Chains A and B, each alone.
Chain A
Amino acid sequence: MREVKIPITDEIVRSLRVGDPVRVSGVIVTGRDAVHKWISDTFIKKIRQPEGDDLEVYQLIRPLLKGSLIYHCGPVVSGLDTGDYRFVAAGPTTSIREEPYQGDVMRHFNLKGVIGKGGMGAKTLKACMEAPGVYLHAIGGAASLIAQTVSRVLGVYKLEFGVPEAMWVIEVQDFPAVVTMDSHGNSLHAQVEAQSKAALEKLLQIQ
């Protein structure tokens, strides 16, 4: 078991290998579909003008994301009426939907990686090699268990995207995950996909 503390150094990232179980501690930020599109359109591709509090939020999240991880997660949160937020259920969401954006978002913020589920594709793997960065796979559906590792909710940005799509700034303690894509170009997902493809082809030969 490897302890990974935020901020993560490049040296630590390079020492992580596919298959390593890890426990993450420190401040991370959630972000999924709406957030990745918003960041990409507004600050990377710049195909839309910043509006409302966009620039202010951008300045606030930059130091949070630098050296940290983005967590693909749309949590169940209590205390929405009082502002005394608590994570009730907070497992990972399917990461592949962010494949068009993830590599650029990693480079833009100097993110050291992603926590999600289901793995990502070639573009993200390339960014992991360059950044360097790492893809940490959390257990999909293990929402109550993971919520218990969230010790504090420090704040929330872009709540107008909705509770699942907002950026929640959280402090985690011993968040459990497994390295499934590393900075050396290895991807467990690519391996399993290739092996299962070969197995499928054999089965399709049988009538």
Chain B
Amino acid sequence: MNPLEELAAEVPHLQHSFDPAFVFGSGSFGMTQYVLWMIICFVITLIVVLTAGKRLTLIPTSKFTNMVEYGYEFVKKDMGESAIGHGYKKHIPFLATLFFFILISNFVGLIPGCKTPTGSISITWALAAISFVYFIFYGIKVKGLGGYLKSFAPAGLPVVMVPIVWFLELFSTVLRVLTLAVRLYGNMFAGHMVLGIFALLTSVFIGSAIQGAGVAVGSISIAWMLFLFAMYALEFLVAFLQAYVFTILSAVYIGLATSDH
């Protein structure tokens, strides 16, 4: 059988494995695999942060504590201070929670056999909605409801332009919740799909080489495996980058909502 035809037959199985299958329960009550992995990621995040928090010393001695502290400092300096500016300190716990949870769930998904919770759109919608409500809440708290609504249009515009710019800015603000959710979901889902396709290609080509298609097909399979390794390395970068982008965009939105131009 032609390996490419075999691949076309295998791809629906791969797509099916991304569906939110029920681990237990069914219909309206139950738990899908993504929710299960989300809870596992919550537990891992809690364990990592609480163990590091218990062992805090003035001069960090253990490598583990040092690593977690470095992550926290990274959120504080590179995201909080540079994106929010004045009064950034009270937002750091929220941003650090987002960053650590997304980072850990992205990396858990890269372990073969595990599912990434952020590869399901429901979970990224929830995360984006939390971030959206948070920055609107702080915008209204700092400027008041009227002041926050007025601040969509920058000051100093000609009077005719104000309603148009205000409406466009309102639209792009509402769009933020969609882009935050779909960006994280799209990157993680597409990345895992690409990894799956390359793994399938490797196995399909080596299978047909063993069945007697010859050495040429077998050596192509090795090339697919090298591609798979390269994509795996790229996915590690993407996993970190998406956690970073989600957090820094939340920080930027908070900064835009609370700063008084």
Chain A complexes with chain B: no
